[in-house]
Structure 1
Amino acid sequence: MSINEFSNNLSKYANPREYDESYKSYTADLDFIEAHLGERKQTIIELACGTGRLAIPLARQGHLVYGVDIHAGMLKYAQEKADEEGLNIHLSIQDCTQLNLPIKSNFIYMTGNSFQHFLTNESQDALLMSVKRHLNVKGEFIFDTRNPILHELSNVDLSEESIEQNGDITKVIHQEVYNPLTQILDCTSTYISSKNEYKDSIKLRYTYPLELKRLLQQHGFELINIHGSWKKEAFDANSISMVVHARLK
């Protein structure tokens, strides 16, 4: 497994503080996880934990959280936030396809559509094998991924916006191109100002519902449910998201 599949696909996360600020008000996934865990304090594992948007409030509630991410800058910022509150969170830089934690858990979760970073069948397989090694029997794995809506993906999406950065107006050109053979959406943003021009990009794999079911079954999981959102809306063909709830057999 080449780590470059992930390390070359991280430019969107170059500024952890800015990323954290952009998503700090989003709580639908946290609300779902909190309700699922209930009152009993548990040892839990978060994959692709980023800046600790979920890990920190869950640790604050008394859960023992092991969080992993491949991005050192995101984890550093998460640790700084945890330290400010005096919270004990076990954070480590790891590739989720090669997890090596000293514990097993009854619950592993991954949010933020991070599943789409696993671009190949091989990396999806390796992820599920890693999760399986760190779950107890009957342990649960919950994650989300965007639903592939073909009529939206088939068009090249080109848009522009203007944003203010450090007192300067920056024009941002966004382009999204989907490859139906690889099922990968290539998203590129070009930032143009009077001072400089630069790009960032991200590749996102889209996986179909029946693919997900087969993948889970292949690795010894039973599918409990697919929700259409973190608010537990019913999943249908037009759902933007798939929130997948699986249990190890």
Structure 2
Amino acid sequence: MKAEDNLEKYADPAAYDERHGGFAADVEFILEELGEVPARVIDLACGTGRVSIPLVRAGHRVTGVDLHEGMIGRAREKADSEGLDVRFLLQDCRHLDLPAPADLIVMSGNSFQHFLTNEDQDLLFEAVRRHLSPGGRFIFDTRNPVLHELAEPDRYEESAVIGGRSVRELHTETYDPVSQVLRCETETIDGDPVRRDAISLRYTYPLEMERLVRQHGFEFERRYGDWRRGEFVPGSGQVVCVCRLI
């Protein structure tokens, strides 16, 4: 699957902001890691600027990169409305081409799972390495594969508020243990016709991640079970990786 064919979930940037815009634990974590000295930061898969914009408010120089034109457009609108100097660029993170290296590269929102193949993951790490200053860091999160949760297809319903309206969402999730990809399909019931979208997400196991990090010239500084710095244990639903370029 091409990366540009896996973006249905982001068709409505305003609705994405409405649902996810209030999450701030990753922003707080990243600001703590940066400290008070202004730094150069690249925010990969930046979406609507949820992470980039607060970093700029704190005095850091930020470049946001995303593959989705609509998400980048909304990020620019938000930054412009506050008079903030943020460079938002439409690029594929696997083929990153920026003029200056960064002290820190971040990737939040479990965006690492969009890199579905070993080749995609390799290209991402190579791009990150090329764009980091010596000793720079790469901080990213991804869902941790918990086998009993992935073993059987899951179907569930939940309510959501989109555009001020309450809607029903029916989700079907099916995991392929060979490709390690979870296929998530959603039917949104909000009148007629029913809206459908889907997304594919790659799961990476802890030892795979350790090898990937070392293979590309990084070392783990720390690893957490969430953005609140909880301990990473086998049953953690998430892993936050803090890697340094060797």
Distance, in Å, in 2 between the alignment partners of 1:167 and 1:110 is 29
1:120 and 2:136 matched: no
Q: Aligned with 1:236: secondary structure?
A: coil
List per-residue Cα deviations over 1:52-89 (Å, max 9, x = no partner): 01111111111110110000000100000000110000
Aligned pair count reads: 246
Matched, 1:31 2:50: no
| Matches for 1:95-244 after TM superposition, within 5 Å | 95-161=92-158, 170-244=167-241
Distance 1:232 1:56 in 2: 22
Structure 1 residue matching 2:2: 3-state secondary structure: helix
| Cα shift at 1:21 | 1.5
Aligned residue identity for 2:239? M
Determine the C-alpha separation between the residues in 1 that align with 2:125 and 2:227.
21
- CA deviation profile, 1:169-190 (whole Å, cap 9, x unmatched): 7543210000000000000001
Find the residue that maps to 1:174 and give its secondary structure.
Answer: strand
* Identity among equivalent pairs (%): 49
Q: Indicate the larger mover: 158-167 or 58-67.
A: 158-167
Hey, what does 1:247 align to over in structure 2?
A: 244
Cα distance in 2 between the residues matched to 1:169 and 1:15:
16
TM-score (norm 1): 0.95
Letter in 2 for 1:203: S
Letter matched to residue 37 of structure 1:
L
Shift of 1:199: 0.7
| Larger displacement relative to structure 2 (152-161 or 130-139) | 152-161
2:16 alignment partner AA: Y
Question: Is this contact kept in 1: 2:18–2:162, CA < 8 A?
Answer: no
The separation in 1 between residues aligned to 2:121 and 2:155, in whole angstroms, is 29
CA distance in 1, matches of 2:160, 2:123: 39
The residue number in structure 2 matching 1:40 is 37
Task: Give distance in 2, aligned partners of 1:198 and 1:90.
Answer: 33
Paired amino acid for 1:49 = C
* Residue-by-residue CA offset, 1:83-121 (whole Å, 9 max, x unaligned): 011000011000000000011011101000000000000
Deviation at 1:223, TM superposition (A): 1.1
Q: 2: distance between equivalents of 1:166 and 1:113?
A: 24
Moved over 2 A (4+): 160-172, 191-195
Partner residue, 1:60: 57
1:126-156 deviation digits (Å, cap 9, x = unpaired): 0000000001111100000000000001121
Q: Distance in 2 between matches of 1:168 and 1:41?
A: 41
Deviations 1:196-242 (A, max 9, x none): 12210100000001100100111111111111111111100111110
Instruction: Identify the residue that residue 49 of structure 1 maps to in structure 2.
Output: 46
Which residue of structure 2 lines up, in the alignment, with residue 92 of structure 1? 89
Q: Unaligned 5+ residue runs, structure 2?
A: none
Residues 100 and 113 of structure 1, relative CA distance in 2, 3 Å threshold: same
* 5+ long unaligned stretches in structure 1: none
Displacement after TM superposition at 1:192 (Å): 3.5
Q: Give the letter aligned to residue 14 of structure 2.
A: R
